[in-house]
Structure 1
Amino acid sequence: MSARKVVIAKAGGYGQLRIENLNQVSPGAGEVVVATQAIGVNYADCVIRMGLYSSAKEYVGWPITPGFEFSGTVESVGAGVEDLAPGDRVFGVTRFGGYATHVTVPRHQLFALPSKLTMEQAAGFPAVFLTAYFALFELAHPRPGATVLVHSAAGGVGSALLQLGRIAGCRMVGVVGGTHKVEAARALGAEVVIDKSREDLWKAAKAAAPEGYDVVLDANGPSTLRESYRHLGSPGKLVIYGFHSMLPRKGGRPNYAKLAWDWLRTPRFDPLTLTNDNTSVLAFNLSYLFERRSVLEESLARLLTWVEEGQVVSPQVTTFPLDAVAEAHRALESGTTVGKLVLVP
């Protein structure tokens, strides 16, 4: 089968996701070409397609092939790469370009496939677990016994956060958007699960932590940020890693009037108020961290140790053929999925 990739020529809806032939190149010094067997789908990919992802504009522009994570077999290696050979089973990360049958990356962005993960599970592992790891261990640093609130707790990052929080000895409170997600969140380590489709989110959050939360992890944006901050304890940390509520749940195109309104109602955090409240607001974008080799290697080394020990399990995986990439985006944007979506070339 010919080499192929997904290309987005310009910002827009699902129709902008086109399959094109991929001209393969030989790996440069220190690089590896991987024939992909599975490719992780992330909400950031949808944001890229809509033309709203800053680092995509900064690093690539149009046209762009989205995709941050993949698994497969080594096809060829460049000069200086001596610890991998064609046929080796690997998974890795890439700053864009992952939606393709072949991906070329620097050697340090690849890792041996763990015995406990399938190709599909491994392809959906790095982005969510690195996001969760960075949020919890690099930024929040919760102490054992801390009470932590996780929004979207049954999704990819949310389910990773629940597991890592449990390893850190925290009391985890998870928020889910539907009753069908409650058991998934509980199984992954949530001591309390708030089903906001059936109960008042903030009344339940207050009941679960009357003194406030040591850490709140929020990728929703303006729909919850203000209240997330108000429910912090003293001291407390709000960690922000996305703005999902600003974007559409169907149709695939941003509503610019809604975006403007949401931007206006996004809370601005004043340093004097933060100091007086004894709170912190922290935020990050994982795509800016891929070149931080030490962070990447240390984080994944600890995560993979936990995988091998059975302390961390990969999210539930739903697969889509590469040709059905638009269906995968539509499903992810709907907010009804559990775990990770993966493209299979």
Structure 2
Amino acid sequence: MEKIVIHRPGGFNRLQFETFPDPLPGENQVVVQTKSIGVNYADCVVRMGYYASAKKYIGWPITPGFEFSGVVSVVGKNVGDLAAGTRVFGVSRFDSYASHVVVPRSQLYFLPEHISFEEAAGFPVIYLTAYYALYMLVHIFPGSTILIHSAAGGVGSALLQLAQLGDWRTIGVVGSSHKVEEAKELGADWVIDKSKENLWQMVEKYAPQGLDAVLDGNGVTTLREGYTHLRPTGKLISYGYHAMFARENSILNHLKLIYSYLRTPRFHPIDLHNNNRSLASFNLSFLFDRGDLLEIAMRSLYSWFTEGKIRMPKVTVYPFREVSRAHRDLQSGKTVGKLVLNL
């Protein structure tokens, strides 16, 4: 088997291809020969050496990747419902950037013929993130108005579609004009192009009473204003800190990171109490021991996905050996939808 290994943190050149013996499954495990692999911004942060769960559970060297699709290669003891050649997709805590992946049976899902390997590989992370934020972490009442940053990106695309199912009004924020139509097609009621419009003036126009929820994967650049624009009972939901990291340059800028960290707002519990506002945050890579939550979320998501109630956003495919280009493009902030690697 071949997989991508990172031996120490750094730029795109740290993504090295290495060969290993083919893996064997343990009890209740399955070996999948991968066809497509999802690429997420978290993978870039893993490569940089700043992803907390990667340092806690793996260390160096590490193979990044949280999601994949392919066909069953070998099944372990006690796995009776899968056979070699069965189309599947699934999730892993790292190790997906490989030609073969070993995971527990509980982290695999049957892949219908009408859904492509590319779509399936890019599905789990963005939709599990969106589902947990909207349906598990907090309660958002029907008719609420929610602000979604990076609305044409992977998680933003999933948030827009799940918000439609939840009967919420959505304000999508995009960073450039070529992303506006994509956000509209995905269901945004209003779209703010912050490259041409004043973001917070437009928010006040569309939500004069304030926002019921803000979904923020940026961090330092938008958290404070997002909190300020909440109405009483509003919720600021933070799931990433992309703005802390360099875009065009693969070299780590430690001074920028330190400066961004120091500028990241802190919210005092007494202020939250007096303002009737809430702050919630999460990182799904720390929740792999909560199989019950994964089962609940995927039961709904799998049904909606296979029935066509939700769909993948635009999927851009890269050859497996062009993983560095995929990381570079994703970090640039110019991509739309989801990126996947094909073997």
| Both proteins in one fold, TM over 0.5 | yes
Equivalent residues in 2 for 1:168-179 (5 A)? 168-179=166-177
Structure 1 counterpart of 2:279:
281
Pair 1:206 & 2:198 matched = no
Structure 2 counterpart of 1:137:
135
Fraction of identical pairs, as percent: 55
Cα distance between partner residues in 1 of 2:289 and 2:108: 13
Shift of 1:160: 0.1
Cα distance between partner residues in 1 of 2:20 and 2:93: 17
Equivalent residues in 2 for 1:20-169 (5 A)? 20-169=18-167
Shift of 1:291: 2.4
Paired letter, 1:292: R
The question of whether the paired residues in 1 share the 8 Å contact of 2:234 and 2:278 is answered with yes
Paired letter, 1:299: A
Paired letter, 1:313: R
Paired letter, 1:81: V
The question of whether the paired residues in 1 share the 8 Å contact of 2:149 and 2:216 is answered with yes
Shift of 1:128: 0.3
Once the two structures are superposed, what CA deviation does each residue of 1:84-105 show, in whole Å capped at 9, x if it has no partner?
A: 1101000000000000000000
Structure 1 counterpart of 2:16:
18
Q: How many residues get paired? A: 343
Cα distance between partner residues in 2 of 1:82 and 1:248: 47
Equivalent residues in 2 for 1:184-223 (5 A)? 184-223=182-221
Cα distance between partner residues in 2 of 1:263 and 1:305: 40
Once the two structures are superposed, what CA deviation does each residue of 1:62-103 show, in whole Å capped at 9, x if it has no partner?
A: 000000000000000000000111010000000000000000
Shift of 1:311: 1.6
Cα distance between partner residues in 1 of 2:211 and 2:304: 26
Cα distance between partner residues in 2 of 1:62 and 1:180: 39
Paired letter, 1:174: G
3-state secondary structure, aligned to 1:234: strand
**Structure 1 length as normaliser, TM-score?**
0.98
Shift of 1:115: 4.3
**Structure 2 length as normaliser, TM-score?**
0.99
Pair 1:266 & 2:264 matched = yes
Cα distance between partner residues in 2 of 1:115 and 1:305: 15
3-state secondary structure, aligned to 2:89: strand
Report the aligned-residue RMSD: 0.8
Paired letter, 1:343: L
Shift of 1:116: 4.1
The question of whether the paired residues in 1 share the 8 Å contact of 2:211 and 2:234 is answered with yes
Segments of 5+ residues of structure 1 without an aligned counterpart are none
The question of whether the paired residues in 1 share the 8 Å contact of 2:87 and 2:112 is answered with no
